[in-house]
Structure 1
Amino acid sequence: MATHRAPESKREQFRRYLEKSGVIETLTSVLVTLYEEPEKPNNALDFIKLHLGVVDPEQADAEALRMELADLQEKCNQLMEENKELKNKLMQYESSSEEGAGV
């Protein structure tokens, strides 16, 4: 009686495909790096993308710089508005002191 080997499952085929192509090794390496990270990042997915090379480090830096720029522009606008208000108050005080001196 000949032994009949069952056809390989699609799941097993896929696992071997991932193993041959280095996907399992790469993912394991990135996950180990994340595990060994002393301070866990706020966004684990971004960490994984960065270490897989999906996100260009310069692109990540550019996004951080864009956010910082937006914050600084908002702060600059607030300061300009405050400066305008203070100038108006100063002009009021100067004009009232001139009127007081002229009387």
Structure 2
Amino acid sequence: MMRYKEEKEAKKEAFRKYLESSGVVDALTKVLVALYEQDEKPSSALEFVQQKLGGPTASEYETLQAEMSDLRAKYNELLCKHEDACKELEDLKNLHSSVSPSTKETMDGEPLKDEV
């Protein structure tokens, strides 16, 4: 039982060191101090923390979600057009390769000069 407790404490200490070395503890401390020093406390402490850490506000998030939805729709439309163009190109290649050299003609209906 004692060994389990020591392992758990070691994991906690390793995680604390990780948070300190990556700058998370300092960033959170600065944000919490800024919140504490506010004369008028914001209605949402969570939104205050998110904003101070560089996250979007709720309205910015909604705007970004709408923009992402529009872009996803445009992407899907373009992807379909691309797939259609690739299919058409493949069909043209197949058509071109199935035409025998003796039947190839120019646009005006005359035989190609190098094949005569």
Normalising by the smaller structure, the TM-score range is: 0.3 to 0.5
The answer to which structure, 1 or 2, has the higher relative contact order (CA under 8 A, 6+ apart) is 1
TM-score, L = length of structure 1: 0.48
TM-score, L = length of structure 2: 0.42
